[in-house]
Structure 1
């Protein structure tokens, strides 16, 4: 299928699909006219990339796990690399949440102090 069809079937922009390919996350073959041609498996792969991006992973992270089984449909667990990456990402996000909560508390305190002097 051509890149436009892949875009339509996945909701990913053509630019994103080209980016995924440039990062080595997606492979196409070239037709005689130079157009990219994707097989049906590319639909699942693009949707998987979108899922991982939605989890906050980078394309570099995704490259490490893109070929890991996705779960129960493969009748085996997610690979250890994905498990470790998820744990590491969760730790980073947890620290970010803690930092944001601290900033929120400080801002609320400053606002309250400001409002008391109005």
Structure 2
């Protein structure tokens, strides 16, 4: 018969496996979500921000710079000029390897309003 400690250890292992699987699933969804030509930019960005928050709540932190890159990757086929803009050294700044998340979000929302 299992004692309390053994039951707790088994419970923790089960929860850890489920949490890990959830993180993997959410990361996959975050990295593979693509904006479509007929899509709604606000809904697209809200979905990605929601996935970002869910991962953060599970201690699977994605930096703002990485999030900006993920977003740009998802709009690459529909907003090439925006992606090129953030690929330029002038936009990135000296010594900066990743774009600023807020600037990416505001730029894409502005582009969506113009369309």
Q: Please, what TM-score do these two structures have when normalized by structure 1?
A: 0.25
Q: Which has the higher helix share?
A: 2
Q: Please, what TM-score do these two structures have when normalized by structure 2?
A: 0.25
